[in-house]
Amino acid sequence: ETGVTQTPRHLVMGMTNKKSLKCEQHLGHNAMYWYKQSAKKPLELMFVYSLEERVENNSVPSRFSPECPNSSHLFLHLHTLQPEDSALYLCASSQGRDRATYEQYFGPGTRLTVT
């Protein structure tokens, strides 16, 4: 595997379900990110992890719970979601948190539909 991978690629879940999104980066990067991309809206940064420590949480509802067990893996745990949470969820990684190394590499995304 190369780059940033995400599973599953598509997910349909009911509002009462619990599911998890997985991201893995094979680039040796130190920082990982979760983004939400909805139609006609800019990319929204949700969480940032640097060396497995959460360094940013942009007022994301608690029904989204991130987990970063090591610098290569990132999870997004989902529970009791709402239909408006339907979107493309993108994972990204970058070499570090320094501004000079903020170039981010994105995974293919998980298309989430909440019914």
Partner 1 sequence: QKEVEQNSGPLSVPEGAIASLNCTYSDRGSQSFFWYRQYSGKSPELIMSIYSNGDKEDGRFTAQLNKASQYVSLLIRDSQPSDSATYLCAVNRRDDKIIFGKGTRLHILP
Applying CB under 8 A, which residues contact partner 1?
40-43, 45, 56, 88, 90, 97, 99-100, 102-109
Q: What is the closest distance, in whole angstroms, from the C-beta atom of residue 113 to partner 1 in the complex?
A: 15
Degrees to nearest 5, angle at CA 30 with 91 and 77: 40
Q: What is the closest distance, in whole angstroms, from the C-beta atom of residue 56 to partner 1 in the complex?
A: 7
40 vs 83, which CB is nearer to partner 1?
A: 40
User: Please, are residues 23 and 73 in contact by the beta-carbon 8 Å criterion?
Assistant: yes
16 vs 99, which CB is nearer to partner 1?
A: 99
List, in order, residues 6 or more apart from 36 with CB less than 8 Å away: 43, 44, 46, 87, 88, 89, 90
The closest alpha carbon to 64, from 85, 78, 44, 53, belongs to 78
60 vs 108, which CB is nearer to partner 1?
A: 108
Q: What is the closest distance, in whole angstroms, from the C-beta atom of residue 59 to partner 1 in the complex?
A: 12
